[in-house]
Amino acid sequence: EIPQCAGCNQHILDKFILKVLDRHWHSSCLKCADCQMQLADRCFSRAGSVYCKEDFFKRFGTKCTACQQGIPPTQVVRKAQDFVYHLHCFACIICSRQLATGDEFYLMEDGRLVCKEDYETAKQNDDSEAGAKRPRTTITAKQLETLKNAYKNSPKPARHVREQLSSETGLDMRVVQVWFQNRRAKEKRLKKDAGRHRWGQFYKSVKRSRGGSKLEKESSAEDCGVSDSELSFRGE
């Protein structure tokens, strides 16, 4: 039986036949699905297509955090914590300057980078506007219920969970992130104030037993910060 080529579907009458994953090929038909380079030594396969090593890792290998493109194993990369970057993508998002070994930078939660100079400048500008009224985002009851249910499952959700919540609620990704930050801070204050309240009640009872008439005003934890349905935030 004369084998058929998996590339052109013609019978193979050549002297030499290539065989990849139990399929036969003309030597001229075995090419990378992306760059069309003829494959003679080594090839990689995924979903029925064959690729050269470079293009296979571009498609299915480690992705650059900045551009989301695959990184071939032969390329030099930069790393920042768990994030990986192409050399040219390892740059400040404000001034676009490529960061080199030894440069100080600020790593944002989503993997974006800000050089030290731009970070300090932005921080100074932010501090100077601290007294100004900050924009507020109002969250509807339905959106709030979705966020609270997610908080019960995880007070500090992963990025893909926040992306899903953003899609479900229609809220900006940044708003979702700040809501969780505020919620965690609020619970921390509640626990702290609960301890203060217990000690405050104890001191009051001691003062009463001594005939004191002046009582200290207790601040309610609910009066601190912003509510769950209203956010006020600034860039980090």
| 201 pLDDT higher than 70 | no
pLDDT in tens, 105-116: 888 888 889 998
Fold (CATH) for 77-129: Cysteine Rich Protein (2.10.110)
Q: What is the pTM of this model?
A: 0.37
**Domain layout of the chain by residue ranges:** 18-60, 77-129, 141-193
The pLDDT value recorded for residue 231 is 59
Residues 6+ apart with CB under 8 A from 19: 25
Contact between 115 and 95 under an 8 Å Cβ cutoff? The reply is: yes
Residues 6+ apart with CB under 8 A from 135: 232
Q: How far apart are CA 72 and CA 55, in angstroms?
A: 7
Among candidate residues 21, 72, 18, 17, the one with its CA nearest the CA of residue 46: 21
Contact between 19 and 32 under an 8 Å Cβ cutoff? The reply is: no
| 192 pLDDT higher than 60 | yes
Which residues are 137's β-sheet partners?
A: 231
Fold (CATH) for 141-193: Arc Repressor Mutant, subunit A (1.10.10)
The pLDDT value recorded for residue 202 is 56
Pick the most confident of 8-17, 20-29, 43-52, 186-195: 186-195
The pLDDT value recorded for residue 91 is 92
Query: 2.10.110.10, 3.40.50.2000, 3.60.15.10, 3.10.180.10: which CATH number matches 18-60?
Result: 2.10.110.10
The pLDDT value recorded for residue 92 is 92
pLDDT in tens, 59-97: 777 788 888 888 877 778 898 888 999 888 999 998 989
Percent with pLDDT over 90 in the chain: 5
**Is 141-193 in the same CATH topology as 77-129?**
no
| 223 pLDDT higher than 50 | no
pLDDT in tens, 134-148: 566 788 888 888 999
Q: Copy the structure tokens of residue 90.
A: 């390892």
Per the listing, tokens 């005003």 go with 217
